[in-house]
Structure 1
Amino acid sequence: MTYCLGIITRSGLVIGADSRTNAGVDYISKYRKLFNFSLPGQRVVLLCTSGNLSITQAVLTALQRDLRTADCENLHTIPSMYDIACYIGEKVRDVQDRERPWLDRDQIDASCSLLLGGQVMGGDPELYLIYSQGNFIQATEETPFLQIGETKYGKPILDRLLDYETTVDSAAKCALLSIDSTMKSNISVGPPINLVMYRANSFVMKHQLQLQLGDRFLRTVRSEWEVALRTAFDGVSDIDWDHHSDNNVVDYHSLELD
């Protein structure tokens, strides 16, 4: 399992991912899931992967091969982020069509999903979720974040704190807390954590980090968040049991049988 998320705001873009994969409780490995295909000064292209590792690695290899091939359409020549999403979707379908019969024969799940974020000169920052079938959806002002992998544990904080006007710095902090909350509740998600923050219209990746297991800053953030949650919890009103009686609760012992 994995957890990757992307956040888009008026001021920029944040993408984060863990690095843990597993094929059962006795085989857990670490693989990078966040990849930077940017061309500094011209475009930022970031990609996160989730799902069948052989499929996503084959897709990444195909993207890298096109970048090395002269006169070949690639991530550095395609004119818009929408067209890049279409192009990656085609690569996903190509790999799926080639590999799925053999994986299906052995009842191996061949599904995958990818997050694509970035900005091409002349356009705005954009964020896409590309499905296993190669089709995709785009993040909007109303829905400024997208997730893949083990999404449920890290979603509540995003729902409560994020909107399109959130600063990109606050979005990065929110992303880190979302990933940490997921790691706290699910052992199949784990470090190293890769996190990038891109400021709109800068066309350069200045802010990126990798947090290893036991990282001092990660421990500090987790501790501060747990203290803040406890403080907030203690500040919530206690239930007034006397005022809100349980008159609607049926006492089955008092029922008369027909």
Structure 2
Amino acid sequence: MTYCVAMRLDAGLVFLSDSRTNAGVDHVGTFRKMNVFEAPGERLMVLMTAGNLSISQSVRQIIAEHTTSDGKSIWNVSSMYEAAQVVGEAIRMVHERDAGTLEQFGIDFNVSMVFGGQIKGERCRLFQMYSAGNFIESQDENTYFQIGESKYGKPIIDRVVTPDTPLDEAAKCALISMDSTLRSNISVGLPLDLLIYETDKLTVTRFVTIDEHNQYFQMIRNTWAKQLKTVFESISDPVWNAAPETTSNVLSSQGHKNQPLRILPPAQFGIDKTVSAPGPLQTLAQDESNSNNQQH
């Protein structure tokens, strides 16, 4: 599997991808999933891929070399929307050529991509591509796209990133998102490729490949883990069966009538189905009262 995330911000674009393609017990594969199409000063486009590796590599090759029937290529179109159409056509070409044969071997045509960048004369744009060659574009209400194992790293991005987030802050958030994914899923792995693109530069401005020895990423991993634990421990435990006005931590209100859905044993098992009524639950107010009595 994989995990890739891209963000479209007022200041530019952030792209981050892992490199794990196989996580078998005795076979771990590593392939880079970020591809940069660059004509410095004129256009800069980035493609990240997830899914079947052979399909994504075929699509990448066609994108780099193919010209459509009406003469369009990613190298000469005037907008990122047209470039995304070229990418979509490349996906459909590979599907038409290979999908039937793959199906005979029980292999689904499975590929997803994030494609973004800037062409001179227009703003930065970001697209998520699907297996059918169709796509959607990032808007201010949805500033990022993820592909692959996206669920682990999504919450931090939802809470932090907005269109006006600075690029370095967004990159930090992307790396924390990746660390959360690495922590929870063995099918995502190092090294990582991180590319930060500043609006109107029309060339790669910052890029790094991150391995297990990278100083900043190690700091993020250690600091994030410690800070999460500190925040967790600072949150009070729940209070049961207390009056809401007693404390702000009431989980179960005093005198509540909630009960679990109980399933009783069938009669043939001869089990006593009498449910003993629980004794009175001690409340926070009672705890404080007892404490005061003891002090007197």
TM-score by length of 2: 0.80
Bigger radius of gyration among the two: 2
Corresponding residue for 1:227? Answer: 226
Whole-Å separation in 1 of the counterparts to 2:140 and 2:19: 29
Aligned ranges for residues 68-217 of structure 1 at < 5 Å?
73-217=72-216
Which residue pairs with 1:36 in the alignment? 36
Q: Distance in 1 between matches of 2:213 and 2:95?
A: 37
| CA-to-aligned-CA distance 1:157-213 (integer Å, 9 cap, x gap) | 011111112112111111111111101100100011001111111212121100013
Structure 1 residues 221-245: Cα deviation after superposition (integer angstroms, max 9, x where no partner): 1001111212222232332335333
The match for 1:12 is 12
CA distance in 2, matches of 1:86, 1:27: 36
2:112 & 2:101 partners in 1: Cα distance? 19
Runs of 4+ aligned residues of structure 1 deviating over 6 Å after TM superposition are none
The one of 231, 254, 257 aligned to 1:248: 257
Which consecutive residues of structure 2, in runs of 5 or more, have no partner in the other structure?
A: 243-249, 263-274, 278-296
Distance in 2 (CA, whole Å) between partners of 1:250 and 1:75 is: 62
| Alpha-carbon shift at residue 248 of structure 1 (Å) | 3.4
In 2, Cα distance between equivalents of 1:82 and 1:25: 42
Q: Give me the CA root mean square deviation.
A: 1.9
Q: Residue 163 of structure 2: SS of its match in structure 1?
A: coil
Identify which of structures 1 and 2 has the higher relative contact order when contacts are C-alpha pairs closer than 8 Å and 6+ apart. 1
User: Tell me, what secondary structure is at the counterpart of 2:162?
Assistant: coil
One-letter amino acid matched to 2:199: A
- Give the percent of matched residue pairs that are identical in Structure 1 and Structure 2: 40
Q: Distance in 1 between matches of 2:259 and 2:241?
A: 18
- Greater CA deviation, 79-88 or 220-229? 220-229
Report the equivalent of 2:284.
Answer: none
Specify every segment of 5 or more residues in structure 1 that has no aligned partner in the other structure, as ranges: none
Letter in 2 for 1:176: L
TM-fit CA distance, 1:65: 2.6
CA deviation after TM superposition for structure 1 residue 214, in Å: 3.6
Deviations 1:8-64 (A, max 9, x none): 111111011000001754432000000110211111100001101111010111123
- Cα offset for 1:220? 1.5
TM-score by length of structure 1 reads 0.92
Aligned equivalents of 2:93, 2:161: Cα separation in 1: 36
- Contact 1:66–1:72 (CA under 8 A) maintained in structure 2: no
- Letter matched to residue 50 of structure 1: A
